[in-house]
Amino acid sequence: MAKIGILGGTFDPIHYAHLYMGAISADELGLSTVIFVPNGTPPHKSAVETPGSVRLAMTKLAIANNPFFTVSDYESTKDGICYTIDTVLHFKQIYPGDKLYFIIGEDSLSYIEQWYDAENLFKLCEFIVIGRGGYESNIEGKISELGCKYSFICHYIEAPELDISSDGIRKRICAGKTVDYLLPRELIEYLNTNNIYS
């Protein structure tokens, strides 16, 4: 039975903190692969201005050199709101005999009960929670609370602080500032060539 990680996000753009979340999850849990899933229309955010096709292309460029990473267009080509439970069910059909892990940042744990059909979602996969520097919470207490209330299985990974954000990258590009070492060189070249964000 293979272990499959799923890492969703707007990825506008994807950057090294996202990639590290995938890498440390694979390393700590022995995942066979990590699937990066750029969102279409996420329910918890306002409309994403950058087209799904562009964010998908950026994600493909960013993960190209890691044989343990792959990318899915399931959400970015899907009409309407994209719910996590639909994505997990989609991958359960593709990997019926394998174990699924959904990877999130520690900040998402505070409102995960508000996700659509959360109780059933918790039964479909286990969660990997990546500790994010600068975010203060009673993480052990929250995980214990969710475990008592639901069929919620969580693996907490404390990771080095990588203070990188997609919003910050977009602002730097708009201001004409360097984004070197915040995201892969191939992706920076793509952004420059196609005048993304500038």
CATH architecture under which domain 3-163 falls? 3-Layer(aba) Sandwich (3.40)
What DSSP assignment string belongs to 102-135? EEEEGGGGGGGGGSTTHHHHHHH-EEEEEE-TT-
CA distance 73 to 36: 9
To the nearest whole number, what is the mean pLDDT of the chain? 92
Summarize pLDDT for 148-186 with one digit per residue, the tens: 999 999 999 998 888 899 999 999 999 999 999 999 999
Please give the model's pTM, rounded to 2 decimal places: 0.94
More confident residue, 169 or 46: 169
CA distance 67 to 125: 23
Domain ranges in the chain? Answer: 3-163
